[in-house]
A and B are shown apart, each in its own frame.
Chain A
Amino acid sequence: MSVCGGSGPAAAPRLRPRAAQMARRPELLCGAAILLGCAFLVALKVTCSRAKDVTMPAKLPVNFFSTRSPVIDLFRGQLDYADHLRQDSEIVLYFFYAPWCGQSIAAREEIEHVASRLSDQVLFVAVNCWWNQGKCRKQKHFFYFPVIHLYHRSFGPIEYKGPMSAVYIEKFVRRVMTPLLYISSRSKLLDFLSNYEPGVLGYFEFNASPQPPGYLTFFTSALHSLKKDYLGTIRFGVITDKRIAEEISLLHSGSVYLHRHVNTSLVSIVFMLYQGSELNCDRYLILFHCSKYSLLFKNTFSQAILSHLPYSGFLPHNITFSHITKVALEYHKCNKSQAAEPDLQHLGDPDSPAFDYSVPDAHMKLSETFSITKYPCCNTVVLPQWHSISRTHNVCELCVNQTLGVKPNKVHVPHCNFLEIEAALDSFYLQEHTFFQVISNTIECSNFLSFYSPFSYYTACCRTVNRHFLSFISSEKTVFQTPEVAFSSHGKKDNTQNSIPHIEDRKYFIPDFRTSGTNITGLSCRTNKTLNLYLLDSNLFWIYAERLGASRSTHIKEFAAIVDLKEEVHYVLDQNQTLIGSTL
């Protein structure tokens, strides 16, 4: 190439003016190119030696975040400095990025947004983990970008795997900041217990010592759970008042109470933390996870799944959600003698015995009829991409049944570890098949028939909670022989409304769901089909609703539809339509 008088390629090059100018002082170029640090010049320097093989090293890394940003940008991948920074702050968020990566670029704004809100409490450090001269690239080996790691003092990293959106990230960071909820009063306890997500409560006596035995373990366990459960579905609470602790039979400091709403088998597991080894405690918590996730994952197994993102905490949403939950419960209730209409006014009530009551019966029958020889833990494949945490009901018990094959009324902890669960997974699926084939002849409470059955119905309802645009899609999958199952769950809410209209919403909902409750109670028992309920975050999954015919223009992302997979039809529910019973 003629720039430096080297051998030229076959084709005579046309020099652009700038290049030609440079060609007149090649000695400067060849010597000073690196110092100048300009990529273009570096390229020309290489041409000095051999024109045929012109290459150019990658551009040097530059700032990824603006200098005004609250995020510390280690764009040269100074991982050592990043580690050093960690010592100064209680909570640190690391944002490992690659400058070329579209997802990193898209997430940058979101991180900045979160950082601007939390920068006084959390240290935000961005590290370029791509540049091959940087320490980060040399030490870490990521398969995708960006990667978000959180540290709570020395604990970590906790990887955030949720959606790259500021709201979700912020929520997660806040959970890492305060993994334990402080339960100071009876009403808070009730709030805690009435939540649809499973919870863990610890009672610790702080009067005796600032660091009661087991507290640290409990605290770490809460953080541990966030590692696996990036949405923080399992809530951890701490009680310091003896009287409140007694409400849930926690008598000794260091006791831990595992709570799962409307779940016969795991409703209350009380164990003494400080009496068992710490390892044991972790194991229990892991088990807790495993059984919970199994519910999530395996919708083939479930007759009713409600999944939702825990963006609750707002009264109106809770109400909406609880209504759906109750509908689902009613639907699956086989024992009709129980009160068909749940008292919806008592949403704060921790346990509704009506629900708990009927289910064990089904289980008893089940476990009697089918002696299950192999007992895998509730083992299912997660559908982690859903980004949603589901709350399932009857599934849970079935799960435990499978696990232990004993009377489900008993309080127990499934004794199998994580590995076993994984190993058992395959056989479990197989077993399930045979299991369902058997059951289909004897129509017991056929809650357990799910979509192995050929006629399946599917319903999707999407909901939004007005403030904060928290929205949910609930979708139900029903398997009914007669197709006219109607499900309605619709309430229109206005984004601009404040809490007063919410009360109206509430009123609006209650009658609806009462009807629904009566009409569909026990339906799943009378038919050999099942109904699955899904709640999805319509912020993330609105496209499902669109596929089912939801309007794109709507402000409020609420949508409900029944989908019949077999018949390939779906029924979209009108906003104001109330719930109709089954025409069975």
Chain B
Amino acid sequence: AGRGRAVAGLSGLCLCLRERVRAMFYHAYEHYLESAFPYDELRPLTCDGQDTWGSFSLTLIDALDTLLILGNVSEFQRVVDVLQERVDFDIDVNASVFETNIRVVGGLLSAHLLSKKAGVEVEAGWPCSGPLLRMAEEAARKLLPAFQTPTGMPYGTVNLLHGVNPGETPVTCTAGIGTFIVEFATLSHLTGDPVFEDVARKALKALWKNRSDIGLVGNHIDVVTAKWVAQDAGIGAGVDSYFEYLVKGAILLQDKELMSMFLEYNEAIKNYTKFDDWYLWVQMYKGTVSMPVFQSLEAYWPGLQSLIGDVDNAMRTFLNYYTVWKQFGGLPEFYNIPQGYTVDKREGYPLRPELIESAMYLYRATRDPTLLELGRDAVESIEKISKVDCGFATIKDLRDHRLDNRMESFFLAETVKYLYLLFDPDNFIHNDGSVFDVVITPYGECILNAGGYVFNTEAHPIDPAALHCCRKRKEEQWEVEDLMREFYSLKRNKKFTFKRSSNHGGGESAKDPEDISSEKGGEKRNSKKRSHSLLSCPSQSFNSKLAVLGQVFLDNT
């Protein structure tokens, strides 16, 4: 029995809301170009620009692939040209290693991989070469000096021209160490230079080695001595994208090791931090609760749970978070769960995407109309509260909806993108593998754009198929061809396909995942590329059909 798409009544809602999201995007985007470019960010109350994370025209880089998701090919092409001319990383700027990676490297990589789809003239070696890829590589190389530490864990800040400043603090947050594998592994696969993936893996392993006895990681660590400086363990700020990248890295690279790391963390998190489907902050060695707060950033967690197939728990946690949204019209940075109110000095809502991101993933998995309702609420709130003449302003205080003079670049990169994808069920991003492109590369024929996109933590989609396009060694290519042949002979046998892919699990997996996904279809995106054991997404139970409107129809025993 096929699943209906949206509820009949809500499918109409979908499209009108989608168009409102589109209008939101252009309202902000055009004012950025008009008033703020080439600065990093728009200041919506004063209608001017400012540099925040460097000086890369950050909002433009970040918004680039959103343009394509909205279907604006011509503007995408124009911006690609503009960026190639203007953006320069040889500047004397202290930049956050983490932010530069996720926003700049991630944004450029996804733009590079999507550029052919957008009709940009690409050079002969694409996707293994190209101007945007070279820019991404250049930006990433500027970050590499930060990784030169005794532990392999990077410094938090690096000077793009001079490397790590003398006297730079060695304290880095956990997420600032473990949030590289998606971009860096992609870079290594595309360029053939393994150094990026190597440093990213080394940093991940260092964190893994330094987890506490009860299996938790803290908030900040000294990258020289490997001593935990902040010992609060949770899923939110300071840690969040580390967990996210374990899962996404595992999916992207078909890497069982990363997934087993995550699953072990997941157990510890459930054991020590989860209460009533809320996740609190605990002391990383003792497991005692240190802060009973919910952070806006934690709202990515249900989406991550849906990626590992834990949809029931994801839905429950999501509904908890949604009640906070209903109370304020946004998610405060900190929300005191027992008191049911905001935390002093943490009442702001900078239009973060996390809850909407989770809604998007969960909607792909469940088609539960509650998730569209969140989307509708988000559109209404953002338009009613934060829309100003020049764009959309950060909400400084959710208690009275005072606005701040800032529009973070993730608003266009993530918030708008996830909202649009939530309301646009036919977007190419949701491709289930039923269509794909075949490109000829110097290394042979290669399938691209078959779906299963992995979003980096700044919502830049990476096409996992591209990682298998740029192999240089002949024997590997033969291996691929052998496997292809084997695959086609067993085309209808999915299980076998999965087993085989697990045999070849690991970073150098030689199979072509797109063929599998083109076989499967229907299932939730991203989940389809797991091998059968650790990386497989458990198929949804039968009674999940009846789990809509935020509850399970039948209590399963």
Contacts and interface: CB of A to CB of B under 8 A. Distances in A.
Contacts of B326: 101, 103, 143-145
Given A105-B380, A568-B542, A15 B45 contact: no
Given A103-B326, A548-B545, A543 B48 contact: no
Contacts of A570: 1
A456 to B, nearest CB: 8
Contact of A299 (B8, B543, B550, B554): B554
Interface of A: 1, 3, 9-16, 19, 39-40, 43, 47, 51, 53-58, 98-103, 105-106, 132, 142-145, 299-300, 383, 385, 451-452, 458, 477, 541-544, 546-550, 552, 563, 565, 568, 570, 572
The CB with the most chain A CB atoms within 10 A, among B35, B388, B401, B550, is that of B401
B1 A548 contact: yes
B385 A477 contact: no
B377 A544 contact: no
* Complex A-B, nearest 10 residue pairs according to Cβ-Cβ distance, in ascending order: A13-B48, A549-B1, A102-B377, A58-B401, A54-B405, A546-B4, A568-B542, A100-B384, A102-B380, A547-B545
8 contacts: A15-B48, A47-B46, A56-B403, A57-B400, A58-B401, A132-B400, A541-B549, A565-B543
Nearest to A39: B388
Contacts of B553: 544
B502 to A, nearest CB: 25
B46 A1 contact: yes
Given A299-B554, A543-B7, A102 B381 contact: yes
Interface stretch (B271-279, B308-316, B389-397, B485-493): B389-397
B50 A100 contact: no
A397 B390 CA distance: 66
Contacts, number: 151
Contacts of A105: 380
B51 A11 contact: yes
Given A58-B403, A544-B553, A546-B4, A101 B329 contact: yes
A102 B1 contact: no
B340 interface: yes
Contacts of A1: 46
Nearest to B381: A100
Given A55-B402, A55-B405, A56-B402, A385 B554 contact: no
Nearest to B404: A55
A473 to B, nearest CB: 11
B286 interface: no
Contacts of A383: 551
Nearest to A550: B4
A14 B329 contact: no
B3 interface: yes
Contacts of B46: 1, 3, 13, 19, 43, 47, 51, 54
B49 A14 contact: yes
B373 interface: yes
A543 B402 contact: no
Nearest to B375: A102
Contacts of A552: 4, 8
The CB with the most chain B CB atoms within 10 A, among A13, A100, A102, A299, is that of A102
Contact of B45 (A43, A547, A572): A43
Contacts of A13: 43, 46-49
B542 to A, nearest CB: 4
B524 to A, nearest CB: 16
B124 interface: no
Contacts of B385: 58, 100
A482 B238 CA distance: 55
B400 A544 contact: no
Contacts of A55: 45, 396, 402-405
A102 B377 CA distance: 4
B376 interface: yes
A9 B36 CA distance: 13
A14 B46 CA distance: 9
A51 B554 CA distance: 58
A12 B43 CA distance: 12
A563 B541 CA distance: 13
Given A56-B393, A572-B1, A11 B39 contact: yes
A54 B43 contact: yes
A451 B557 CA distance: 7
A300 B378 CA distance: 37
A563 B553 CA distance: 13
A119 to B, nearest CB: 27
Nearest to B544: A547
Given A543-B4, A543-B7, A102 B376 contact: yes
A12 B401 CA distance: 28
Contacts of A546: 3-4, 7-8
A132 B399 contact: yes
A481 to B, nearest CB: 17
Contacts of A101: 326, 329, 377, 380-381
Contacts of B551: 383, 385
A544 B548 contact: yes
Contacts of A53: 405
A383 B378 CA distance: 27
The CB with the most chain A CB atoms within 10 A, among B323, B400, B545, is that of B545
B554 A458 contact: yes
A565 B542 CA distance: 7
Contact of A547 (B3, B396, B405): B3
Contact of B327 (A3, A143, A477): A143
B546 interface: yes
Contacts of A385: 549-551
Nearest to A561: B1
A132 to B, nearest CB: 5
A300 B557 CA distance: 9
B12 interface: no
Given A39-B388, A51-B46, A552-B8, 17 more contacts: A9-B50, A13-B49, A54-B43, A55-B403, A55-B405, A56-B45, A56-B393, A56-B403, A57-B400, A58-B400, A102-B380, A102-B381, A106-B376, A132-B399, A541-B549, A546-B4, A547-B1
B327 A144 contact: yes
B175 to A, nearest CB: 27
Contacts of B1: 547-549, 570, 572
The CB with the most chain B CB atoms within 10 A, among A12, A40, A101, is that of A101
B402 A16 contact: no
A49 B518 CA distance: 60
A390 to B, nearest CB: 13
Nearest to A13: B48
Nearest to B52: A11
Contacts of B378: 102
A53 B403 CA distance: 11
A132 B546 CA distance: 41
B407 to A, nearest CB: 12
A53 B397 CA distance: 14
Contacts of B384: 99-100
Interface in B30-71: 34-35, 39, 43, 45-51
B369 interface: yes
B379 interface: yes
Interface in B225-269: none
A326 B329 CA distance: 48
Nearest to B547: A547
A64 to B, nearest CB: 11
A40 B388 contact: yes
Contacts of B51: 10-11
Contacts of B327: 142-144
A331 to B, nearest CB: 18
Contacts of A39: 388
A11 B50 contact: yes
B408 to A, nearest CB: 15
Given A100-B384, A542-B8, A143 B340 contact: yes
